[in-house]
Amino acid sequence: MAQRSQTLRTLLSADQISARVGELADQVADVYAGQEIALVPILLGSVIFVADLIRRLPLDMAIHMCGLSSYRGRATRPGELSWTLPPPDDLAGRHVLVVDDILDTGATLERVVRAIGGQQPASLRSCVLLARRGARVEPDFFGFRIGDGFVVGYGLDYGDRFRNLPYIAVIEP
């Protein structure tokens, strides 16, 4: 259960998220119309986002997961990236969409794109729910631009807590 000592400020409501995920699904469907895609969600934070997104995509798709972690325990700053689940190795010639919860510094997305890009996919794009201003890479699709606060909910966690919130909140200092 969430610790009561944390103060959360709602940043994005469940309704706002739902509406934007629908818009993202429409954008992705337009780009990939008539093509089969391989979605590669980055675990663990993207699980709720990708579940909602794929239910709204009218496309043939395969889902392959990968995992990278840079936040350990109750860290609020990213540390060293390490694979928790390597990317699939059968993406050559396929249209690949990497899906993540948040584009923070860009290091995670860069590493996944580099690993998949080496397989020579037919196309390689990225979709993130949240994109920080000033990240060193730009996603092809994003839901919301956000500032610097540490965010939780809708799959995002702090010390393995708050992932189950149906909205996105900022942890207040």
Q: Which residues are catalytically annotated?
A: 104
Please give the C-alpha separations between residue 89 and each of 97, 123, 129, in angstroms, as whole numbers. 14, 15, 25
Q: What does the alpha-carbon distance between residue 45 and residue 122 come to, in Å, rounded to a whole number?
A: 26
CB-CB neighbours of 106 under 10 Å: 18
Q: What does the alpha-carbon distance between residue 129 and residue 102 come to, in Å, rounded to a whole number?
A: 6
Residue 23's SS3 state is helix
Please give the C-alpha separations between residue 30 and each of 58, 104, 140, in angstroms, as whole numbers. 10, 26, 13
